[in-house]
Chains A and B, each alone.
Chain A
Amino acid sequence: NAGVTQTPKFQVLKTGQSMTLQCAQDMNHNSMYWYRQDPGMGLRLIYYSASEGTTDKGEVPNGYNVSRLNKREFSLRLESAAPSQTSVYFCASSAQGDTEAFFGQGTRLTVV
């Protein structure tokens, strides 16, 4: 049982480049989330998907887009990367909106 799997684990981008972070869960969860974690700060929600077919903005959505491809997969896209997007990105899932969340191992992204 893999839980939540994120790819890639590390990525270096040049300013202006685009990339997609992939996330998949095998727990049949309805809800999925993308967070970023910056040094000395708590997690901040970028986007979430309460259920398959829906996506909504979180606290810091600017510069990002998401796709809930199916119930298992939720991707995060940076269309034109900026140095301010240097961060560690976590994908998470939960059965419902008020139950415990399970996290992937994170993607460490550096934009130069």
Chain B
Amino acid sequence: SQQGEEDPQALSIQEGENATMNCSYKTSINNLQWYRQNSGRGLVHLILIRSNEREKHSGRLRVTLDTSKKSSSLLITASRAADTASYFCATGPSNYQLIWGAGTKLIIKP
């Protein structure tokens, strides 16, 4: 089964609203990474949070990590049309053993 599982599978919100998506995993991790994929394109790295970190920010993005619950969340504030994409979490002891979730498809409505 998938190590990283995103929830929800799909999310549709109005432009300007905040979007929250979650990722759960099963085994111990070294870090957890979030990526964005625009339709038909390559993946773009958003944030890497290490297992000893609890929260990390990058611009309008905030990622939290709760290792006791084996879960992470990605918050996008003040969403824009350009945020429409699929978002993936990837976890594992190293990049050589990353397991990827199936992604959350985010649609920002104008």
**Contact status A106-B95, CB under 8 Å:** no
Residues of A near B48 (CB, < 8 A) are 99-100
Q: Which residues of B contact A40 (CB under 8 A)?
A: 102
- 20 additional A-B residue pairs with CB within 8 Å, beyond A41-B102, A59-B99, A103-B35: A4-B42, A42-B2, A42-B100, A42-B101, A43-B88, A43-B90, A43-B98, A45-B98, A48-B95, A92-B43, A97-B95, A97-B96, A98-B95, A100-B33, A100-B48, A101-B33, A101-B45, A103-B44, A104-B42, A106-B41
In the assembled complex, which residues on chain A have CB atoms less than 8 Å from the CB atom of B2?
42
Contact between chains at B42 and A99 (CB < 8 Å): no
Residue of B nearest to A6 (CB): B42
B30 within 8 A of A: yes
CA distance A41 to B102 in the complex (A): 4
Give bound CA distance, A58 to B96, whole Å: 7
Interface residue A105 (Cβ < 8 Å from any Cβ of B): yes
Known: A42-B101, A42-B102. A105 touches B96 (CB 8 A): no
Contacts of B35 in A (CB 8 A): 103
Q: Are A105's CB and B42's CB within 8 A?
A: yes
Contacts of B30 in A (CB 8 A): 98
A42-B2, A42-B88, A103-B44 are known contacts. Are A97 and B103 too (CB-CB below 8 A)? no
A74 interface residue, CB < 8 Å from B? no
**Residues of chain B within 8 A of A101, CB atoms compared:** 33, 43, 45, 95
**8 Å CB interface, A20-73 against B:** 31, 33, 40-45, 48, 50, 56, 58-59
